[in-house]
Structure 1
Amino acid sequence: MHFDTLGRSVQQCLAPDQLALWPAVLDQAEAECLYGQLKEQLNWTQPELTVFGKSHPIPRMQAWVGDPEAHYTYSSRPFAPAPWHPLLQGLAQQLSAFFKQPFNSVLANYYRDGKDHMGWHSDDEPELGPVIAMISLGAQRDLAFRPRGPGASFKVALPSGSLLLMGPGLQQGWQHGLPNRARVTGGRISLTFRQVKALRERA
């Protein structure tokens, strides 16, 4: 991966350590190759989540990968990680070294086209560490942010090969989501690297 010296803030109202964008940590050839390999090799699933008493398949495909103890709960449903894919483990090690922040797991989301999306949410589950690093591959999509309290919403364009850092405090003050984009016909894979507390470490 190719890091700028500091990255850059993508929203003036947020500190650079809360939200920063590296537009091209992977060049286009690397990003395209990685996208193709992960699309074919990861075990993509489409789990159902229960909302207001009704079960619905999530509007995207996903794969949870990481260390054996990195169990994760989303929308009251537990997820056990699949073993590391070598490419993802290599990326996690590089990101951990650069940010001096351990990452023991990654949630991979595959958006097959612009109809697949992610609703408003915050990654503020108690087992998650304070920092999330997201690599985007494939079709460019916008990640939208809105404050939990007063303030203005905004969007960040995420080109293929980019890295977005969501730092300490962001999840407590903001929600984010990936809106529908009917004109987008290509697929996108997002890789959100996380540090998940082991079950034995949780209070």
Structure 2
Amino acid sequence: RDSVAWHADRERYHHEDPVVAILSTGAPRALHIRPTAGGAARSWRLGQGDLFVMGGACQHDFEHAVPKAAHVDGPRLSIMFRHNLADWQPPSSGTYNQV
């Protein structure tokens, strides 16, 4: 997949302020962040080895996205790190990836 639509990760966690870290490897790509209450988006260009951490109330107050790009400089892999509680269970509705 070459893009990710606007979203927040708060519904996937069973604690109030989840921490999500994104490790970017490969070709650079843009990451956009915008307030859920409205307002201008900000953009960062994440490249090889960049780590972007979203903590505190970020998943409640902001959404993030990786927009489609007309041209990319090469392959990219984004590795997500999330803190989950050991006793967390997915809600009965929705789709969740399980490993």
For this structure pair, what is the TM-score category when the shorter chain's length is used for normalisation? 0.7 to 0.9
Listed one character per residue, the Cα deviations across residues 40-77 of structure 1 (whole Å, up to 9, x for unaligned) are: xxxxxxxxxxxxxxxxxxxx2xxxxxxxxxxxxxxxxx
Q: Which amino acid aligns with 1:191?
A: I
- Alpha-carbon deviation of 1:144? 0.6
- Percent identity reads 39
Q: Assess, with a 3 A threshold, how the Cα gap between structure 1 residues 122 and 176 changes in structure 2: closer, same or farther.
A: same
Alignment match, 1:142: 30
Q: Which of structure 1's runs of 4+ aligned residues deviate more than 4 A?
A: none
Cross-structure match for 2:97:
none
- Select which of 104, 118, 130 maps to 2:4: 118
Higher helix fraction: Structure 1 or Structure 2?
Answer: 1
Gaps of 5+ in 2: 90-99
Determine if contact 1:124/1:171 at 8 Å carries over to the other structure: yes
Counterpart residue identity of residue 8, structure 2: S
Structure 2 residue 81 is matched with structure 1 residue 193: yes
Q: What amino acid maps onto 1:127 in structure 2?
A: Y
Alignment of 1:37-186 (within 5 A): 60=1, 116-127=2-13, 130-186=18-74
CA distance in 1, matches of 2:40, 2:7: 16
User: Residue 151 of structure 1: CA displacement?
Assistant: 2.5
Which ranges of structure 1 fall in alignment gaps of 5 or more residues? 1-59, 61-115
Deviation, 1:160, is 0.6
Report the number of matched residues. 88
Partners of 2:13 and 2:21 lie apart in 1 by 16
- TM-score, normalisation: structure 1: 0.40
1:141-177 alpha-carbon deviations (Å, 9 max, x no partner): 0101111113221101101111111111001011000
Cα distance in 2 for partners of 1:172, 1:143 equals 17
TM-score, structure 2 normalization? 0.78
Looking at structure 1, the residues matched to 5 and 77 of structure 2 have their Cα atoms a distance apart, in angstroms, of: 16
